[in-house]
A = this chain, B = another copy of it.
Amino acid sequence: MALSDIAPDIQPARSHAAKRVSILEAATDVFCREGYAGANIDMIAAEAGVSRQTIYNHHGDKEKLFVAVVRALTERANAGIFATLATFPDHPADIEAELVAFAVRLNRNCICNSDGKYLRKLLEAEGQRYPELFAGWRQDGPGKIWAALAARFARLAHGGHLDVDDPDVAARQFMALINADLHVSMVLGEQLGEERVREAAKNAVRTFLRAYGRPSALPRQSRTVN
């Protein structure tokens, strides 16, 4: 009962927070692997190295746990995307090389990493069942990302580096081209190496610049067909 005066408000346990994280990680894994209905609490408990009761203590409910998982996932994923977006080449010296590097970062850090894969999978699997959960993702995720990316392209166009008439369309197409080669491989769960990602980015940017590049910015790259 006596409240000591030094460090009075320290949380009851330290392991508490660590276990919460560990539970969330394991739950993310299992929910994504097995789907909501296929996942069971014992699996999650075993994978988290925690007793089943502890999970109920922390999250109260299978559904609440699922919601917590999706929230954490979307927040992390959005943060990662915007962090990568901040590395967009606003004043490119070599636009092709810098766009390729940017595309590689985008693929590596946002789309091919586990958060991206997990989020896509949960979205496809349970999106219909929890529309309100994923509507938030959609607004804060793709909505803002496309807008932000479109603004970057518009600025590049204004600076004379690109010839873009509809930046929104260009942004969506850029994302689509980035993923063109990788999507099917990822769905099947293949692990794709760095060079594969780089190749995909190079192809995407090359086509993107053939479509939207300024004639003056292109010509150093040979474009003859053999």
Contacts and interface: CB of A to CB of B under 8 A. Distances in A.
Interface of A: 33-38, 120-121, 123-125, 127-128, 131, 134-135, 138, 142, 157, 163-166, 169-170, 172-173, 175-177, 179-181, 183-184, 187-189, 203-204, 207-208, 210-212, 223, 225-226
A142 B188 CA distance: 12
B121 A124 contact: yes
Contact of A138 (B120, B142, B184): B184
Nearest to A170: B207
Given A36-B38, A37-B37, A37-B38, 4 more contacts: A35-B35, A123-B187, A173-B203, A210-B210
A176 B35 CA distance: 27
Contacts of A36: 35, 38
Which of A170, A211, A225 counts the most B-chain CB atoms under 10 A from its CB? A211
Which of A142, A165, A173, A210 counts the most B-chain CB atoms under 10 A from its CB? A173
A189 B189 CA distance: 24
A163 B183 CA distance: 25
A160 to B, nearest CB: 11
A124 B123 CA distance: 10
A64 B226 CA distance: 51
A128 B169 CA distance: 33
A35 to B, nearest CB: 5
A45 B172 CA distance: 42
B33 A225 contact: no
A142 B183 CA distance: 11
Contacts of A184: 138, 142
A225 B131 CA distance: 39
